[in-house]
Amino acid sequence: MKGRRTFIVLFVGFILTATGVSACPIELSPPSVVVKYGDPVSINCSTWDSNVTGMGWEASQGGTDVQEVQHLTWTVDSLTDWDTAPSCFINLENSSMEQCEKKPTVVVYTFPESIRITSNSSREGALVFREHEEMEMFCDIAEAAPLQNLTVNWYKDGKLVSTASSGSSSNKPSGLRSPYRHSATRLENNSTWRCEAHMDLRPEGPELRVSSEEHRIEVHFGPEVQCFEIAWHIILLEGESLGSKCRVEGYPTPTVEWQKDGQTVDPSAPLSRGQSGDYYVVADGLRYVIPVVVMSQPELTCPSTYTTVEHAPNGISCTVKGYPEPQVTWLKDGEEVTLPETLTSSDAGRYVIIASNRVSSVNVTLDVFVNYPPSQIAELEDAEVGLGADVSLKCSSVGNPRPTYLWSYFRTTNVQEQSEDGVSLLSIRNATAYNRGSYTCHASNEVGKVSKTVTLTVRGAADVCPIKISPDGMVIPYQGPSQLVKCSMVPHDPRNNYKISWEDASDRAVGETWLVNTSQDWDLRPTCTIKVAGFETCQKTLNYTLYKMPDSVFVSADGSSVVEGRRLQLRCLIVNVAPARSLVVRWYRGNDIFEPRVEGSLEIPDCPFESNASCDVSAIRSPVNVSSTIDVVLNREHRSVQFRCDVELNLGPNGPDPPPNMTSSPLTITVLSKPIINATKLPKTVPVFRGYPEELVCEADGHPPPRIQWSYRSTTVSNSTFTAVEAGLYNCTATNEVDSSFYVVEVVLKEDYLPLIAGFVAVTVVAISVVFLFIYSIYYKNTKMRRYSFKNPKLGNHNGNVAHNGWDLQLPMTKLS
């Protein structure tokens, strides 16, 4: 019955609802309740229809009888019926429907105190996932109702990630296991998860939430070997380690071992070329192969410059390293080139050499210089310049590198060198004698050198030698203090490379100086020689004289006496003197210089040959004995003469002043003279008057004093006085060692005058003859010299006496014969 009614009510309700007419005049307050299982509940059912005849609650719990009330409350102290569906009904009179009801909505709920997450792989409270494997977690709810109002929310790290409802519509409480399927990533490792049960019963009921504990999840993965690989290879640069390119990841952290050729290797060790190959990673027992290629970037070692000679083989060597083996490219002016086997000047230039492999590319630049030696020197010719004029010499040559010039010549201040535009110019201003000589221009570069020598002639230049000896002249005495002589180059230019040497200077020449030894350097002719580039080798000889005064000077003669008119040779012997050529010998007779100078007549005694050099007085410099010889003719007046010789060393302006001299001790020479009878006291004719004896006195001069002897007829008287008694010829003879002379006196008797007249005539004739003879003798002297000299004072004396003496006239005649 009840079911039918319900059907009816429902049917009517449907219609009423559809028509918008509320047919059942019941009001429920509240019309719906939410009540926790076991809690009290009450609903006031009331009606405003007065025609109600009964009212009642039909319920599994708290149902009431029909009562004739306007309101009736359904009350349950502890609602325990999950499916309770109380219904308030009224019975109506005179109504189209006799009964109507209203059902409040009663929701009985229950909600768990706690919920929990479960999973079939959990470890130490953590949920364990394998990456990318879907795994189920469950949110276990012990008992809850109504389930349709329950949603299960999943939170990861506090953020909602999933909401699920139970799907059940049962009012009855039941346990719920809400699954959550999840495929975790490694990023979610250590994330925390919880599930939440949410029951929203509002507005009538509460909103309930309960959350599980948070669970950490572990996402297990790996081991995974991750490498940066190219074309299935791990490509490493030299120096990089395997560990920098490969990582082994996994959770939990795997145990990893790196191996190559069965050996364990350190992945952090830098690898070098040659260590390419298959490496293995054993991670948690799994073995992975890693093909490794160790590459090194190209290394290109080339000289930055390469200099070679034309036509020489190309010796450029570059070393290339790198793996894989780099490819080498040569670029010149941006175009790829290949250098020929031998280089020519067109190959000079800048090259870029590129070595590249898969790792990288490097390049270097290389400058190639192709050298060639200097060409023959041009434009340099022999030249001539006037004294004081200007001239320049030009030297030019072509080569690579551009040649440098070096001149070699005798450098003086008036010469200047300048190089410009590959040409060297040598300018000589105001040419002097020192500028003449040879000029050599050397042009050189690294490859070769050439030179050319020309001669510069200076017109009007005197011969010069750039040597100065100081002192330039030296006259030093034997065993005097030594002197130092220096030879230097004048004009001096420090750029000149010269060599000075002494020759014939014994071993006392040291460099430019020479020390004279005053005890022995008689014959040295120290000669200073200079060798300087550009100037012919020239030398100067030190003009030095080592002199020595003679040890002694003495005069000797053939004998200690000489006959008048005879030649006497006097010899001055000078012992041990040097240099003999400077000797000046003066002869003194008494105190007078009688032979002012005797020069050149010096000779060396005992010299075998006059021509022998060792006998040449003018050449000998060492001490010698020399003699000076003179011939003297002494006349009767001299009787006894002293001769001295004085020698002087005339050493010129550098010598001592006054010149030193030495005088010999005198040599006394006695002059022997023949007797000469003094005719003044003894006329030729002595008139004697008969009966008167006449005393004839014969005096004669001579040395040694002559003995006088008179002879008459047969009588001879050795007395200067003779008494003539009779007419006759009286003969006076004067005799000494030298000669004897006689004088004849004619004693005549007085009365005879005729002889006197005849004598006068004869004198006249004789005078004429004398004049003639005189003229003739002058002529003869001029044509044929004889020793006889008219200067002989004797002749003059006799001439005065000739007037009386015909005998005397014969004298010149006999001498001439």
Ligand X SMILES: *[C@@H]1O[C@H](CO)[C@@H](O)[C@H](O)[C@H]1NC(C)=O
Residues 406-445 that bind ligand X (CB under 6 A): 430, 432
**Residue with smaller CB distance to ligand X, 729 or 765:** 729
678 lines the binding site for ligand X (CB under 6 A):
yes
Pairing of strands 215-227, 246-251: antiparallel
3-state helix, strand, coil in the chain (%, to 5): 10, 50, 40
Structure tokens at 95: 């109504």
664 lines the binding site for ligand X (CB under 6 A):
no
**Which element (helix H / strand E) includes 757?**
helix 754-783
CA distance 284 to 282: 6
**Residue with smaller CB distance to ligand X, 247 or 597:** 597
* Closest separation in Å from C-beta 232 to ligand X: 30
Residue 760: Cβ-neighbour burial (10 angstroms; 0-12, 13-18, 19+): exposed
**Residue with smaller CB distance to ligand X, 616 or 701:** 701
Stretch that binds ligand X, among 252-260, 402-410, 616-624, 644-652 (CB under 6 A): 644-652
673 lines the binding site for ligand X (CB under 6 A):
no
Which positions ≥6 away from 777 have C-beta within 8 Å? Answer: 790, 812, 816
**Residue with smaller CB distance to ligand X, 259 or 661:** 661
Pairing of strands 509-510, 437-444: unpaired
* Closest separation in Å from C-beta 653 to ligand X: 5
CA distance 165 to 170: 13
* Closest separation in Å from C-beta 422 to ligand X: 30
**Residue 47 DSSP code:** E
Task: Report CA-CA distances (Å) from 544 to 203, 581, 659.
Answer: 153, 14, 16
CA distance 87 to 3: 13
Site string for ligand X, 365-394 (x = CB under 6 A): -----------------------x------
93 lines the binding site for ligand X (CB under 6 A):
yes
Q: Can the peptide bond before residue 223 be classed as cis, meaning omega within 30 degrees of 0?
A: yes
Question: Site size for ligand X, by CB under 6 A?
Answer: 45
Closest CA to 379 of 421, 412, 413: 421
680 lines the binding site for ligand X (CB under 6 A):
yes
Structure tokens at 762: 């004869």
Stretch that binds ligand X, among 47-55, 57-65, 129-137, 299-307 (CB under 6 A): 47-55
360 lines the binding site for ligand X (CB under 6 A):
no
Q: Which three-class secondary structure state does DSSP give residue 501?
A: strand
Pairing of strands 391-396, 383-386: unpaired
Closest CA to 514 of 482, 477, 560: 482
Stretch that binds ligand X, among 48-56, 264-272, 773-781, 800-808 (CB under 6 A): 48-56
CA distance 229 to 219: 27
**Residue with smaller CB distance to ligand X, 423 or 679:** 679
357 lines the binding site for ligand X (CB under 6 A):
no
**Residue with smaller CB distance to ligand X, 244 or 661:** 661
Residues 321-350 that bind ligand X (CB under 6 A): 331
653 lines the binding site for ligand X (CB under 6 A):
yes
681 lines the binding site for ligand X (CB under 6 A):
yes
Residues 464-523 that bind ligand X (CB under 6 A): 473, 475
Residues 198-217 that bind ligand X (CB under 6 A): 200-201, 205
Instruction: Please answer whether residues 442 and 367 qualify as being in contact, where contact means their C-beta atoms are separated by less than 8 angstroms.
Output: no
Which positions ≥6 away from 717 have C-beta within 8 Å? Answer: 709, 710, 711
51 lines the binding site for ligand X (CB under 6 A):
yes
* Closest separation in Å from C-beta 46 to ligand X: 4
Residues 122-181 that bind ligand X (CB under 6 A): 146, 148-149
Instruction: Please answer whether residues 248 and 224 qualify as being in contact, where contact means their C-beta atoms are separated by less than 8 angstroms.
Output: yes
773 lines the binding site for ligand X (CB under 6 A):
no
Stretch that binds ligand X, among 14-22, 727-735, 769-777, 807-815 (CB under 6 A): 727-735
**Residue with smaller CB distance to ligand X, 247 or 499:** 247
Q: What end-to-end distance do the CA atoms of the chain give, in Å?
A: 235
25 lines the binding site for ligand X (CB under 6 A):
no
Site residues (vs ligand X, CB under 6 A): 44, 46, 49-51, 71, 73, 93-94, 146, 148-149, 190, 200-201, 205, 331, 352, 354, 363, 388, 430, 432, 473, 475, 543, 646, 648, 652-654, 661, 678, 680-681, 699, 701, 711, 719, 721, 729, 731, 733, 742, 744
